[in-house]
Amino acid sequence: MPAPHPETWLRNTRAGLFCEPGGFHIDPLRAVDRAVITHAHSDHARPGHGAVLASAATLALMRARGIAGVSEQAAGWGEVVRLGEVDVSLQPAGHVLGSAQVVMEYRGSRAVVSGDYKRAADTTCDGFVPVPCDVFVTEATFGLPVFIHPPAGEEIARLLASVALFPGRTHVIGCYSLGKTQRLISLLRAAGWEAPIWLHGALVGMCDVYERLGIALGRLNQASGAARGQLAGQIVLAPPSAVADRWARRLTDPVVAVASGWMRVRQRAKQGGVELPLVISDHADWAELNATLDDVGAPEVWVTHGSEDALIHAAGLRGMRGRALRLVGYGEEEG
Amino acid sequence: MIAFAALLERLLFAQARGAKLALLRQYFAATPDPDRGIGLAALTGDLNFVAAKAGLIRELAAERTDPVLFALSYDFVGDLAETVALMWPARPGNETAPRLGEVEQTLRNAKKGEVKAILAAWLDASDASVRLALLKLITGGLRVGVSARLAMAALAEMSEGRASIAEIEETWHAVAPPYDSLFAWIEGRGPRPSAGAAPVFRPLMLAHPLEEADIAALDPAAIRAEWKWDGIRVQLAAGPGGRRLFSRGAEDISAGFPEIIEAMEFHGTLDGELLVMRDGAAAPCAELQQRLGRKAVTAKMQRDLPVAVCLYDMLFDGAEDLRPLPFDARRARLEAWYGATRPARMQLSEMIAFPDLAHLAGLRDGARAAGIEGLMLKRGDSPYEGGRTKGLWWKWKRDPLSVDAVLMYAQRGHGKRSSFYSDFTFGVWRADGALVPIGKAYFGFTDAELAFLDKYVRDNTVQRFGPVREVAPGLVLEIAFDAAQASPRHKSGVALRFPRISRIRTDKPAAEADRLDSLLRLTSA
């Protein structure tokens, strides 16, 4: 008997991707009985599920965000867990700490759901491992050829050059609490910035979990405790929403930076009142998306969310069959 | 070109003048000749080479990118040069990005048909940031918000006191890209470049607003009065080395006003106001605006919007520098020269006779004619000093008009104000009961008032459109403005000149704010 095509056992439902013979959803958009979670970003890890399978780090981050499942099971990289009639294992996705690809094998047919991923080096999480498969389910957040992320070290060098040029000003970087924050901190440390890095209160919790899980971040101070003028010449990290709001009034003549793959396009960056756009992303850029299609060698690629048209076109040029799943609800905590 | 590309990127996003100055200073200090001089010329619009058109960039894109991917990308980015810069397929090789000086020299000598291949090779050797700078440079659209004057201010800072902005302005039109001699002077390695016979800009003398406290101290006998015209201040410089018309910002605007240049049959430097004039009467400034910012002007525009200069002062007569002379002496020289030559398209600024200040105050209040903003008062013994010296010249503008309007929309400011709703759109009531916007103001209030307005906006938002909040109509703002002009482009049919918030009228109910028809009666045209 030939192996069943994944489209017969993995399908798109209103709650998200559902693996029928396994009886579980992947990153479900609403509460379900059994969920496999790729990573702890709030658009992928939602509250209210029954049983949750994820990496240990993802479960720890979910607990810190107050969205634990009723029962939890942690799987190590490559460890096979039998769910229903399906063998499930997790492989690192390189997106944020704990982020995983979900590998499913059913009657000799293999599908891989990548979740969000990147291929660029990141010391705060394990790197993406390509898994050959019959169907590769990919994101396409930056699925246009205009999105090429420069080496993150170059962007950090631009930031530090700006700190040197404007020593009396606060450099405040808008970034999300999980993943981007810790990556920026580790990039700054790698570039030799040993001074305390100041955090908006909303970023502290996730940094604590990272440190507990063995990712050293150096000295971190809470920006809300800074005296007037103390933040001049300092680097402050804050959620993007706080950078343009009243909270930012404690900063000294701030240089507003935002670290995101979207900063590659100037008009996008200009709209946000950004003075220093930094192209640093936790998603694959166009080159990485294409390289990954080559690496997994799947005859078929399904695109969950993002700019699917261009990536499906590029897959077609390679002789791969592409299909848009148009999953809505992802991409709210992106960049 | 790498440093220049990085500079452009930061300038594009910098809001504050101080930040732009620091960026420019650093660039000029760290970049060698001739690259920095070419960079300076690119920023001030003084480069001349075979420019490329958008069509050429499209051709390149078609040759080097997949058409479907290009179309999707262009759709997303919305700017041709940027799309191509970002998605240009890298061809890693031994070539490095070209230097700016090399780009300028190559393009200056290139024939039109060669540009495409040259450009493609450069794009191959560059990263996205340099590619964008290249494409913007050769299509002539840097648009990073740097004026010539700002660049000169950066040079002045860089000179550590060796050169003032005024001196750099005077020297500017005597030097040309890549400005080696200018940089040598700024850095103390060479003498100040000499203008020779070429007409150069001399920094304009500016006036202070007349304050209540000043009035009492004025001695009417020592003061001369003229009308303050509402055109644009210009300097006319002519001689054997050529003729130039400069704006008050030292920009050479000769090309836009050929009829003035033609009339400049003198040797010297004059100060005046450029106005649209018909049969000796000045038209509202809005008409003159249509002729500004043009590299060339059509015969029709010259016919429909005829310009002339109202002469205020004489700085040089031939090679003789009159600036140290008192105003009265310069005026006598100006009148003598004018009487002897009767130049076309020029008239003398009228000296207003007045027995006392009360009489002058009356004249000022009555100054509602088109093209007049109020009065200028000048000490008869004042030398002509570039810049804004205190106690010599005053501008005494007529009192502003005012209207009580209702706050309608608010938008966040920039830079220091980025956390405040500080740009306010306000409107008045139309006869049908609708509130129609009449203008936008972002100054006039104190910090405390701004905090109040910011909180008011946050507490009374009814809708959001991106960065803009619509506010429930409840707060009356007293708006001061210099003039109201009929404007078919505005929904209300009226445009305010220099609107600012003069008072927050928490005491006044919104329904009692002004009506549109009463505002329309104030329009000057």
A65: CATH: 3.60.15.10
Q: Which structure tokens are listed for B416?
A: 């220091």
Nearest to A248 among B66, B83, B419 (CB): B419
B23: chain A residues, CB-CB within 8 Å: 165
Q: Give CA–CA dist B100/B1, Å, rounded.
A: 5
| Residue A77 DSSP code | B
| CATH code at position A235 | 3.40.50.12650
- Cβ of A313 and B68 within 8 Å? yes
Per-residue pLDDT of chain A (335 residues; tens, 9 = 90+): 689 999 999 999 999 999 999 999 999 999 999 999 999 999 999 999 999 999 999 999 999 999 988 999 999 999 999 999 999 999 999 999 999 999 999 999 999 999 999 999 999 999 999 999 999 999 999 999 999 999 999 999 999 999 999 999 999 999 999 999 999 999 999 999 999 999 999 999 999 999 999 999 999 999 988 988 899 999 999 998 888 788 888 899 999 999 999 999 987 787 777 899 999 999 999 999 999 999 999 999 999 888 889 999 999 999 999 999 877 667 655 56
Residue of B419, B461, B469 to mutate, testing the A interface (most A Cβ within 10 Å of its Cβ): B419
- Cβ of A144 and B76 within 8 Å? yes
- Cβ of A313 and B66 within 8 Å? yes
**What pLDDT is recorded for position A331?**
64
The count of other CB atoms within 10 Å of the CB of residue A321 is: 13
A256: chain B residues, CB-CB within 8 Å: 418
Q: Give CA–CA dist A51/A31, Å, rounded.
A: 10
> What are the structural domain ranges in chain B?
2-139, 208-397, 401-520
Q: Both A162 and A192 in a single domain?
A: yes
Residue B442's pLDDT band, with cuts at 50, 70 and 90, is confident
Nearest to B79 among A267, A276, A309 (CB): A267
Q: Which structure tokens are listed for B11?
A: 């300038």
- Cβ of B86 and A267 within 8 Å? no
Tell me if A329 is assigned to some domain. Answer: no
B19-34: pLDDT as tens digits: 999 999 999 999 999 9
Work out how many CB contacts closer than 8 A connect A with B.
84
Q: Both A71 and A157 in a single domain?
A: no
Assess contact for B406 and B393: CB atoms under 8 A.
Answer: no
**Fold of domain B401-520:** OB fold (Dihydrolipoamide Acetyltransferase, E2P) (2.40.50)
Q: Minimal Cα–Cα distance from A174 to chain B, Å? A: 14
The count of other CB atoms within 10 Å of the CB of residue B368 is: 11
Q: Average pLDDT over chain B, rounded to whole?
A: 89
Tell me if A333 is assigned to some domain. Answer: no
A269: chain B residues, CB-CB within 8 Å: 13
Assess contact for A6 and A62: CB atoms under 8 A.
Answer: no
Tell me if A204 is assigned to some domain. Answer: yes
- Nearest residue of chain A to residue B24 (CA atoms): A165
B71-127: pLDDT as tens digits: 999 988 888 999 999 999 877 777 889 999 999 999 988 888 899 999 999 999 999
Q: Which domain holds residue A173?
A: 152-278
- Bridge partners, residue A40, by sequence: none
CA atoms within 13 A on the CB side of A143: 24
- Cβ of A245 and B419 within 8 Å? yes
- Cβ of A310 and B69 within 8 Å? yes
Q: Is the pLDDT of residue B285 over 90?
A: no
Residue of B7, B24, B73 to mutate, testing the A interface (most A Cβ within 10 Å of its Cβ): B73
- Cβ of B416 and A265 within 8 Å? no
- Cβ of A148 and B86 within 8 Å? yes
At the top level of CATH, which class does the domain B2-139 belong to?
A: mainly alpha
A247: chain B residues, CB-CB within 8 Å: 419
Tell me if A334 is assigned to some domain. Answer: no
**What pLDDT is recorded for position B525?**
43
**Of A261, A278, A295, which marks where a domain is finished?**
A278
B14: chain A residues, CB-CB within 8 Å: 275
Q: Closest by alpha carbon to B139, among B83, B56, B60, B71?
A: B56
In this structure, the strands spanning B461-465 and B494-497 are unpaired
- Cβ of A266 and B19 within 8 Å? no
Q: Both A157 and A186 in a single domain?
A: yes
Q: Both A119 and A179 in a single domain?
A: no
How many structural domains compose chain A? 2
Q: Give CA–CA dist A262/A282, Å, rounded.
A: 11
Nearest to B13 among A245, A275, A307 (CB): A275
- Nearest residue of chain A to residue B22 (CA atoms): A165
B6: chain A residues, CB-CB within 8 Å: 158
* CA distance readout (Å), B294 to A86, A192, B291: 72, 51, 7
B419: chain A residues, CB-CB within 8 Å: 244-249
The count of other CB atoms within 10 Å of the CB of residue B477 is: 24
Q: Is the pLDDT of residue B512 over 60?
A: yes
Q: Minimal Cα–Cα distance from A165 to chain B, Å? A: 7
Residue of A144, A159, A249, A289 to mutate, testing the B interface (most B Cβ within 10 Å of its Cβ): A144
Mean pLDDT across the stretch B29-40?
95
Q: Is the pLDDT of residue B335 over 50?
A: yes
Mean pLDDT across the stretch B238-242?
90
What percent of chain B has pLDDT above 70? 98
The domain B208-397 is placed in CATH, from the list 3.30.470.30, 3.40.50.300, 3.40.50.12500, 3.30.2310.20, at: 3.30.470.30
Residue of B481 and A190 predicted with greater confidence: A190
**What pLDDT is recorded for position B467?**
75
Q: Is B337 helix (H, G, I), strand (E, B) or coil?
A: helix
Tell me if A135 is assigned to some domain. Answer: yes
Q: Closest by alpha carbon to A35, among A99, A92, A101, A83?
A: A83
Nearest to A144 among B14, B73, B467 (CB): B73
- Nearest residue of chain A to residue B72 (CA atoms): A310
- Nearest residue of chain B to residue A159 (CA atoms): B10
- Nearest residue of chain A to residue B76 (CA atoms): A144
Q: Both A142 and A11 in a single domain?
A: yes
Q: Both A250 and A308 in a single domain?
A: no
Q: Give CA–CA dist A63/A278, Å, rounded.
A: 31
Note the maximum CA span of chain B.
81
B83: chain A residues, CB-CB within 8 Å: 146
Tell me if A331 is assigned to some domain. Answer: no
Q: Which structure tokens are listed for B449?
A: 């008032």
A317: chain B residues, CB-CB within 8 Å: 66
Residue of B26, B79, B123, B418 to mutate, testing the A interface (most A Cβ within 10 Å of its Cβ): B418
Assess contact for A57 and A97: CB atoms under 8 A.
Answer: yes
Instruction: Render B372-423 in DSSP notation, one character per residue.
Output: EEEEEEEETT----SB--TTTEEEEEPPPEEEEEEEEEEEE-SGGGTTSEEE
- Cβ of A146 and B26 within 8 Å? no
Tell me if A335 is assigned to some domain. Answer: no
For chain A, report the end-to-end CA distance as a whole number of angstroms: 44
Measured CB to CB, residues of chain A less than 8 Å from chain B are 144-148, 150, 158, 162, 165-166, 244-249, 253, 255-256, 264-267, 269-271, 273-277, 307, 309-310, 313-314, 317
In this structure, the strands spanning A197-199 and A235-238 are parallel
Nearest to A145 among B15, B69, B466 (CB): B69
Q: In CATH terms, are B2-139 and B401-520 the same topology?
A: no
CA quadruple B353, B354, B360, B365: dihedral sign: negative
Mean pLDDT across the stretch B38-59?
85
Q: Is B37 helix (H, G, I), strand (E, B) or coil?
A: helix
- Nearest residue of chain B to residue A264 (CA atoms): B86
Measured CB to CB, residues of chain B less than 8 Å from chain A are 6, 10, 12-16, 19, 22-23, 26, 65-66, 68-69, 72-73, 76-79, 82-83, 86-87, 127-128, 412, 414, 416, 418-419, 466-467
Q: Which structure tokens are listed for B188?
A: 């103390």
- Cβ of A244 and B13 within 8 Å? no
A246: chain B residues, CB-CB within 8 Å: 419
Residues B327-343 as b or e (16 or more Cβ within 10 Å = b): beebbebbeebbeeeeb
